[in-house]
Amino acid sequence: MLSDQVIPTRVLGERGPEVSAVGYGAMGLSGVYGQVEDAESERLLRALLDLGINFIDTADVYGDGHNERLLARVLADRRDEIVLATKFGAGHETGAGRPDYVRTAIDESLRRLGTDHVDLYYLHRVDPDTPIEETVGTLGELVREGKVGHIGLSEVSSDTLRRAHATHRIAAVQQEYSLFSREPESGLLPTLRELDVGLVAYSPLGRGMLGGSFRESSEVENLDQRRRRYPRFAAENLERNLELVRLLHRRAEELGRTPAELALGWLLAQGEDIVPIPGSRSLDKVATNVRAAEQPLERAVVAELGELFPRGVAAGERYAPEFSARLEL
């Protein structure tokens, strides 16, 4: 069923895919933040398509392939409605950028997804032992073969992006970007704009902190697991971050909006080349995310939020050391 909703759209990069201004990150449907039944997840995916979201992001590493197999259920009869993005190369210390690995990875993803192509294929993490030109050269071959529509990178430096883009046009870079994580502004974002490459912002709601789900540590689902991966949930950092969250709640209540609408609205206002992919598991929250695109924030509110959440305001690093070794930014 096609959606009757009309969400604003944005184009990722030069001649890149046109996508809904707010997409959907499906990682949370594979047990990362708590268990969810596959049947419930499938209903959510179909409902968000009905709301007008057409951009869905997954990866081969999410649930060790589970996430892609889950999406296959929806792709089976709604493939034409979906701009499908998946990623490869995370969870491998070396070798993930080699041509043979790239080709194996795409074939396995296509098999799990039950489709003959993906619209956007990302290198999830750069392989330190393979020149980026070699990896992107192979991805370019996949574009010419029709298995991949557009090429993306994730968590890369400006230098890596330039080298990759000189090899084959890059449509998008996926990078954490939110009121809590404004690192792209210091170097990557200007390079993206110079090269006409889109920015797909993952964790735009600060892994739930900015989404309105909790104001106290006792309300955080799967807190122990989050603490192992994300230092901003560690005891010494969480209370400071929740103080900021409560500020956002109060301002949202004053404006008659939700915290998620403010956080996503601020991000959308940073440029037409930015597309956030929140991963809410509640349909009500997905609908709230859509409203952020349909009802832009006033300029004064955008400026105010930028002042309330300056660069570096969040306490703690984005990732624990064992997960951050291959991040270039």
E strands present in 177-295: 198-202, 274-276
CA end-to-end span of the chain, whole Å?
A: 40
Residues assigned a catalytic role: 62
How many Å apart are CA 22 and CA 10, to the nearest integer?
Answer: 9
For the beta sheet containing 118-123, the strands, ordered from the edge strand earlier in sequence to the opposite edge, are 24-25, 55-57, 83-88, 118-123, 148-154, 172-176, 198-202, 274-276
How many Å apart are CA 24 and CA 92, to the nearest integer?
Answer: 25
CA distances from 198 to 15, 16, 18, 19, 175 (A): 11, 8, 11, 11, 10
Burial 166-176 (b: 16+ CB within 10 A, else e): ebbbbbbbbbb
CA distances from 150 to 146, 170, 193 (A): 10, 7, 17
20 beta partners: 9
